[in-house]
Amino acid sequence: MPENESSLAAVLDTVLDTDTQAAVVEDLDRYVVVGVYQNKYGISTDSTIELIGSKAFQATRVPHSPDFVAGVINHRGSIIPVINTRTLLGFPKMDCEISGLFEMLDQREQDHVNWLNELKRCVTNDEEFKLGRDPNMCAFGKWYNELRSNSAKLEHITKGDAALQALIDQFDAPHKRIHGIANRTLEMAQGGEQSKALEVIQRAWRTDLASMRELFASVKSAIAETHVPMMIITEYGDRKAALLVDTVYTVKDVLPSAIEPLPESAENQQFLKGLVHEENGSYVLIGELAHIYDVACPVESDENA
């Protein structure tokens, strides 16, 4: 069973475990905490029927349906809509975001190919090297340092996958070593040791650049494997819908009095009823399933029946 599926199963066991349910204080409300884009949302377990991997069902697209309706699935004999919560909330679709991330990583890889080629050219022709030498100041270095210093962004990209985070950490050493050869090789060339300088550049190409290129490929592959949407099968009244989310984190018990009002600047307020602060300073937005259903799964009028 894939790691994300086993994690999902663990959350599901928590939700449905009757012994755990019985231990919950009566006044507490229970929510399944999910990730959508860079936010965490709480969906009431009272309306949660099932948690499944999105690969378990093939959604059938319905012509002329709203963009946020990814299609319909047959769930235990009932045809229900699949709501892409990213689109509903105005966020970029996951496949578009991942495609953009891959394009950026491809460009950062090519940047370092170009950098070494330019260093080689300058050493060979005894010309001034004008590209950046500080690994913290190149486009990749700036992105990398921001990612590692921002736990929310790192979690958003890795989805908590330790193996993916370990791959990202491995960029640090070869990236710094590549930039570190600039001053040394240019000094060699100026001192009449051009051939030795070119050997250093060629060695960096075979070792550190090769390592970085392998890491870029491995990171993209790992991202593709971990960034697979999940479905929450929900029920509200006599209506059902599958909510497509980025990930499912855990189950959280909340006192109703702990739910704080949303700030006036908050987006998508019609789909939310408040937020709950976490001990680490982050927060969980509490979803208002009724409003989601009113927009995504409106009750058909019998007026003209």
Edge to edge, what strands does the sheet with 48-53 contain? 48-53, 230-236, 239-245, 78-84, 69-75
pLDDT of residue 43: 94
pLDDT of residue 2: 44
**First vs last C-alpha separation in the chain:** 48
Count Cβ atoms below 10 Å from residue 170 Cβ, excluding itself: 16
pLDDT of residue 177: 97
* Sequence-separated (6 or more) residues with CB below 8 Å from residue 113: 209
Task: Tell me which residues of the chain have a pLDDT lower than 50.
Answer: 1-8, 16, 18-20, 22-24, 303-305
pLDDT of residue 299: 65
pLDDT of residue 213: 98
* 94-226 has CATH 1.20.120.30 classification: yes
CA distance 185 to 123: 7
Of 293, 268, 276, 235, the C-alpha closest to 86 is: 268
Of 73, 2, 62, 19, the C-alpha closest to 232 is: 73
All structural domains of the chain with their residue ranges = 3-92+227-296, 94-226
Q: Is the Cβ–Cβ distance between 32 and 251 less than 8 Å?
A: yes
- Provide the whole-model pTM: 0.80
* 3-92+227-296 has CATH 2.40.50.180 classification: yes
pLDDT of residue 3: 47
pLDDT tens per residue, range 269-301: 889 999 999 888 889 999 998 888 888 777 665
pLDDT tens per residue, range 208-262: 999 999 999 999 999 999 998 999 999 988 889 999 999 898 899 999 999 999 8
Token look-up 């995504």 returns 296
| Surface-to-core class of residue 162, CB atoms within 10 Å of its CB (0-12 exposed, 13-18 middle, 19+ buried) | exposed
276 dihedral zone (left: phi>0; alpha: psi -120 to 50; beta): beta
Q: How far is CA 137 from the centre of its chain?
A: 25
Three-state DSSP class for 137?
coil
